[in-house]
Amino acid sequence: MHKGKGMKFVGDSRISAERKPNIPKDYSEYPGRTEAFWPNFLLKEWLVGAVFLVGFLSLTVAHPSPLEGMADPTNAAYIPLPDWYFLFLYQLLKYEFASGTFSLIGIIVLPGLAFGALLLAPFLDQGPGRRPHQRPVAVGMMLLGLAAVMWLTYESSSHVDWETRAEANKPIPPSAIEIDKEDPGYAIYEGNCMSCHGEDLTGGPAAPALIGTEHSAEEIAKIAQEGIGSMPPDQFQGTDEELKQLVDFIVSVNEGAE
């Protein structure tokens, strides 16, 4: 066991016989220029991160993201918009130099340059200083990016009439739908239409909602007998009296939901 004690075995000339502990130089040797990653720096990062996380959590609890109304594939006037945090990219695609034949510039080249610059940031600016004025390139690029994103977002949102849009896409609050199951029309609806248009007239995978329909009572009666688009004809089976009750029922639910 103690054989060789006091001797030095050196097999690989690249490995020094004296094992130096792998400890970086003391930070006091670089006054004001660096700090320990662990725990000082990480702790700061985590603190800031936690503040933002809790902030966002509280925001989402206080203001749940608004849902729009049910998607309507027949509505050609609907302009889909990305969420606010992508509006700047969306706006970029509206400029002539980044749309049409140049759309690749707007889709790949410009965003690619911006994110590429993010990757290159450590190489572009290697100054040791940590104060903003000591890092003009990094700070300049960040301010430029920030200004561009803010300006594009502002430009994009100023062209949208948010109130009209919200009004047109209002979801139907479930509480607003009142279905009178005693209504004689309900039984007829149940027997003829419910399998496709849903228990509470809000539609299903195969058929649109009947709440919010733009069709008049006469049109609904006609559709019930003759079908429309992909709705097959002869869905309604019964007397004229029953047809009237059915249509009255659908109209009354619609009136209640307004």
Q: Which residues are at the interface with ligand HEC (CB under 6 A)? A: 74, 192-193, 195-197, 206-208, 210, 213-215, 220, 223-224, 228-232, 235-236, 246
Which residue's CB is nearer to ligand HEC, number 87 or number 246? Answer: 246
Round to whole Å and give the CA distance between 169 and 64: 17
Which residue's CB is nearer to ligand HEC, number 110 or number 243? Answer: 243
CB 189 within 8 A of CB 250: yes
Minimum distance from CB of 67 to ligand HEC (Å)? 20
Round to whole Å and give the CA distance between 211 and 208: 9
Burial pattern 220-230, b for ≥16 Cβ within 10 A else e, equals: bbebbeeeeee
Cα dihedral sign, 68-70-76-77: negative
Minimum distance from CB of 182 to ligand HEC (Å)? 19
* Residue in the shown chain whose Cβ atom is closest to ligand HEC: 229
Residue 196 to residues 118, 133, 229, Cα–Cα distance (Å): 52, 66, 14
Which residue's CB is nearer to ligand HEC, number 134 or number 195? Answer: 195
Show Cβ contacts of residue 73 under 8 Å, excluding neighbours closer than 6 positions: none
* Maximal CA-CA distance, the chain: 112
Minimum distance from CB of 194 to ligand HEC (Å)? 8
Minimum distance from CB of 198 to ligand HEC (Å)? 10
Minimum distance from CB of 248 to ligand HEC (Å)? 11
Which residue's CB is nearer to ligand HEC, number 70 or number 121? Answer: 70
Which residue's CB is nearer to ligand HEC, number 74 or number 175? Answer: 74
**Closest CA relative to residue 238, chosen from 225, 219, 227:** 225
Minimum distance from CB of 232 to ligand HEC (Å)? 6
Both tokens assigned to 137: 């390139």
Which residue's CB is nearer to ligand HEC, number 92 or number 250? Answer: 250
Rg of the chain (C-alpha set): 33
